[in-house]
């Protein structure tokens, strides 16, 4: 056998002993198929929205002001204070009833809810919340009418879809936007009322035209307030006023290993060319008006809806290196934050 040829370049001692740098890739899994994640997410949203409407109808969960007790899974749910007021049990037993029938279920449910948020962020908001479902629906309709997903957005969105297909706004869609907002507002007001009064009575009075004075006032006021919220402040409510979203975000921020949208910074130049006019597809699709390529701290209200991930996948479908955005967690999530120079949030 021939001996190997010596290298013509001298090798320094330092180069011989220097350890190789450990690199953890940001994209840890193969990207999902086109639109598969969004179809699954929409199915979850539709299912939970249906549950939100039908839960009081089938006594899955509601509180009956007339009867003075709650319903849970078709059964009456009482705190056990009736026996105490009647003198059949003592204060200690009554306190135990309240503890185990009210506070323990609330604490266990809250703990499970926050544990999910700690690992995966505002997953409830992006995948289940009936309010966020309305937010996204009105966003899309308003975008078709004005080119902007909200009246507060200063500049129209790029006239290109993530796959490069052109689109344009049509003012005639305003004839759909306003009725849709009012319809969802009235539906929500009706559902809220059915959580407080017997649904058979509420819907029976509505369809029979025999609503009581208090029911009419509640529905009118609720529809008016919710219509304004859905038209002008829907995603602002999600970002700044929703306590459920806030606690999810706080839990998520406390976990450095939590799932985040990872960004391959070394390929940032590809983001400037994924749409014409040097615009980025991921910036246009976020319903919370965030910049998906930012650090976690500036993604505080991210709902993990994955629309930015899918938009990047579509815009980079012909790129052999694949998309730049990907869900990551654990070490890859920590690496994604290290040395990241944040951009300005929109």
Q: In this predicted model, what pLDDT tens digit does every residue of 237-295 receive, in sequence order?
A: 999 999 999 999 999 999 999 999 998 888 888 887 788 877 888 888 999 989 888 88
Q: Which residue has the higher pLDDT, 32 or 148?
A: 148
pLDDT confidence band for 31 (50 / 70 / 90): very low
Whether the pLDDT of residue 325 is over 50: the answer is: yes
**CB-based contacts of 169: which residues, under 8 Å, 6+ apart?**
143, 144, 145, 146, 147, 156
Q: What pLDDT was estimated at residue 132?
A: 96
Q: Which residue has the higher pLDDT, 181 or 321?
A: 181
Q: What pLDDT was estimated at residue 331?
A: 87
Whether the pLDDT of residue 3 is over 60: the answer is: no
Whether the pLDDT of residue 160 is over 70: the answer is: yes
pLDDT (mean) for 177-194:
97
Distance separating alpha carbons of residues 124 and 290, to the nearest angstrom? 18
Lowest mean pLDDT among 8-22, 33-47, 194-208, 222-236: 8-22
Distance separating alpha carbons of residues 21 and 183, to the nearest angstrom? 58
Q: What pLDDT was estimated at residue 89?
A: 78
pLDDT (mean) for 309-317:
91
Whether the pLDDT of residue 103 is over 80: the answer is: yes
Whether the pLDDT of residue 30 is over 50: the answer is: no
Q: What pLDDT was estimated at residue 337?
A: 75
**Helical spans, DSSP H, in 7-162:** 13-17, 36-54, 81-85, 91-98, 104-120, 123-127, 130-146
Q: What pLDDT was estimated at residue 255?
A: 94
Whether the pLDDT of residue 300 is over 60: the answer is: yes
Q: What pLDDT was estimated at residue 340?
A: 54
Distance separating alpha carbons of residues 300 and 342, to the nearest angstrom? 13
SS3 state at 77: strand
For residue 296 the two structure tokens come to: 């976690």
pLDDT (mean) for 184-200:
96
Lowest mean pLDDT among 95-99, 122-126, 180-184: 95-99
Whether the pLDDT of residue 49 is over 90: the answer is: yes
Q: What pLDDT was estimated at residue 2?
A: 47
Helix (H) or strand (E) holding 71: strand 69-72
Whether the pLDDT of residue 140 is over 90: the answer is: yes
Whether the pLDDT of residue 12 is over 50: the answer is: no
SS3 state at 19: coil
Distance separating alpha carbons of residues 175 and 145, to the nearest angstrom? 9
On average, the pLDDT of the chain sits at 85
């Amino acid at each position: 056998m021939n001996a190997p040829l010596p290298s013509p370049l001298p090798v320094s001692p330092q180069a011989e002993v220097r350890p190789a740098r450990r690199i953890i890739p940001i994209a840890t899994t193969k990207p999902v198929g086109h639109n598969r994640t969004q179809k699954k997410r929409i199915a979850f949203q539709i299912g939970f929205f249906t549950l939100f409407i039908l839960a009081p109808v089938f006594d899955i969960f509601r509180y009956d002001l007339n009867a003075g007790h709650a319903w849970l899974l078709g059964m009456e749910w009482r705190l056990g204070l009736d026996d105490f007021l009647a003198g059949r049990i003592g204060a200690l037993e009554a306190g135990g009833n309240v503890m185990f029938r009210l506070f323990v279920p609330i604490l266990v449910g809250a703990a499970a809810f926050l544990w999910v948020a700690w690992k995966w962020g505002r997953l409830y908001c992006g995948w289940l919340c009936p309010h966020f479902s309305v937010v996204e629906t009105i966003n899309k309709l308003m975008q078709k009418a004005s080119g902007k997903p909200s009246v507060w957005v200063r500049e129209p969105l790029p006239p290109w879809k993530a796959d490069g297909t052109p689109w344009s706004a049509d003012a005639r869609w305003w004839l759909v936007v306003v009725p849709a907002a009012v319809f969802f507002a009235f539906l929500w007001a009706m559902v809220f009322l059915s959580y407080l009064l017997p649904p058979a009575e509420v819907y029976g009075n509505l369809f029979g035209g025999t609503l009581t004075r208090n029911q009419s006032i509640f529905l009118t006021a609720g529809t008016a307030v919710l219509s304004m919220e859905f038209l002008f402040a829907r995603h602002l409510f999600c970002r700044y006023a929703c306590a459920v979203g806030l606690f999810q975000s706080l839990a998520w921020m406390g976990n450095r290993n939590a799932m985040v949208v990872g960004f391959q910074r070394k390929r940032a130049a590809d983001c400037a060319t994924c749409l014409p006019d040097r615009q980025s597809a991921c910036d246009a699709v976020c319903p919370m008006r965030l910049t998906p390529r930012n650090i976690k701290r500036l993604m505080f209200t991210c709902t993990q809806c994955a629309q930015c991930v899918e938009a990047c996948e579509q815009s980079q479908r012909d790129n052999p290196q694949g998309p730049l955005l990907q869900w990551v967690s654990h070490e890859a999530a920590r690496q994604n934050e290290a040395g990241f120079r944040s951009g300005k949030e929109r």
